[in-house]
């Protein structure tokens, strides 16, 4: 099994339980790890036989434009979309960090991680 990862994708997104968050769009950092059998693309050197990073990024970028209350739901949407779009993906892991959340104190982020298998 092999893994493709896209790490540190930054987005401003209308995600949060408070109406203000849907207006100001807090900053999020998303990491995605996709496990698949890379034996064929490792030998063929053909893009169409692997998981295209750009297509993954554009899929996630589109999801991050949608309004959600919970980062848990965003992670679920990302993982389901990746598995649906890329048939060779066996497992997807996703970590979403909400940067500098307004929780009444100073902190870098809060985060949620999950994984989903086919």
Partners of 111 in beta bridges: 97
Q: Is 22 a catalytic residue?
A: no
**pLDDT of 58 higher than 90:** yes
End-to-end CA distance of the chain: 14
pLDDT digits (tens, 9 = 90+) for 9-26: 999 999 988 888 888 889
- Please give the model's pTM, rounded to 2 decimal places: 0.94
- CATH code for the part of the protein at 2-117: 3.30.1130.10
Residue 14 has a CB neighbour count (10 Å cut-off) of: 15
Write down the mean pLDDT value for the chain. 95
Q: Work out the average pLDDT over 30-49.
A: 96
């Amino acid at each position: 099994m092999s893994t493709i990862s896209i790490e540190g994708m930054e987005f401003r997104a209308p995600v949060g339980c408070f109406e203000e968050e849907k207006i100001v769009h807090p900053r999020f950092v998303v990491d995605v790890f996709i496990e698949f059998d890379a034996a064929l693309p490792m030998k063929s050197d053909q893009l169409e036989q692997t998981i295209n990073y750009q297509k993954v990024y554009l899929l996630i970028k589109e999801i991050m434009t949608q309004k959600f209350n919970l980062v848990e739901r965003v992670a679920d949407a990302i993982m389901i979309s990746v598995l649906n779009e890329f048939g060779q993906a066996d497992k997807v892991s996703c970590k979403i960090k909400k940067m500098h959340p307004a929780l009444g104190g100073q902190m870098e982020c809060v985060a949620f991680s999950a994984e989903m298998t086919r």
